[in-house]
Amino acid sequence: MSRKNWMEYIVTEEDTGMNVEQIVRQKMNVSGRMMQRLTRSKGILLNRKQPFLERQVKTGDQIAVRVVDRQPLHDVPSTSVERVIAQENVTPIEILYEDDHLLIVNKPAGMMVHPIKHEQSGTLVHILADLFLAKGQQVSFHPVHRLDKETSGAILVAKNSYGHQLADRLLREGGIHREYLAVVNGLLADDAGTIDAPIGRDSRHPTKRRVTTGGDHAVTHYEVTERSADMSLVRVWLETGRTHQIRVHFGHIGHPLAGDTMYGAARGLMRRQALHASSLRFAHPVLQEEIAVTAPLPTDMKRLIQAEFK
């Protein structure tokens, strides 16, 4: 049994009286949905054998759960061995961090994170599948959070269902610190501040969002790092993660992001919104160590910042 494919737990004296299901749920942090999936696929072992979930454990027992998804080759999204072999080079993606469960990549602007239509290709999920398949690895990728198509920077992706459910729980509990760098139009009056305004759909536009009574709770924190005659460079971090949150909030207070024509800015040096996910920081839910990653700025953001603030 490969340690890479299974997560193992050794029962201690403190676990006396617990059964297999309780160990898997409470000690190995497996969600109810994943528990059902593992049960159906025989992905839970007690001392290398299929157990009854109600069976009580004893000190020294070894419990293992499969953490690498079984994925038949024909189910790899929008790709195949022939397609990958035929490509001399797949789209380069900068990997900022990787372990058996999680991956952090520096997503380029202009790339969607995942497909919204079955026939769609060229998304981050597809390209990662291509890259790993070209190396002989078949991986099922699960984005833990999202970035807009035209937003660049660090994004956390799980390499299996186990990593995904742990990282998703961490995200929902506020354990993942996401920081952004943005250039906004105009001069922000305060050096630091918080925008607390609910966000909902804009009924006049299929994808646009707006601040609206009855929308979802949304909180954005910011700190101004530089000002020019016409723009402010801001460090931004999120307390919530609503669609277009940073773009909507700064547009709402009259300082839309440079290049963000959807939320009131004019095009200039930027042909997209001037927003980059600059860093991610969290306590790894499996390795129990601090992970901190910084994503280098893309060329267009560098050019704008140098032209406006240097």
Mapping DSSP to helix (H, G, I), strand (E, B) and coil, where does residue 153 land?
strand
Distances (CA, A) of 207 to 181, 203, 204, 240, 264: 23, 9, 9, 19, 15
Structure tokens at 102: 């999680």
> Of 5, 118, 121, 110, which Cα lies nearest the Cα of 66?
5
Looking at the annotation, which residues are catalytic? 148
CA 192, CA 221: separation in Å to the nearest integer?
A: 8
Count of helix runs (H) and strand runs (E) in the chain: 7, 15
- Please state whether beta strands 275-283 and 152-158 pair in parallel, antiparallel, or not at all (unpaired): parallel
- Closest CA relative to residue 143, chosen from 155, 131, 130, 127: 155
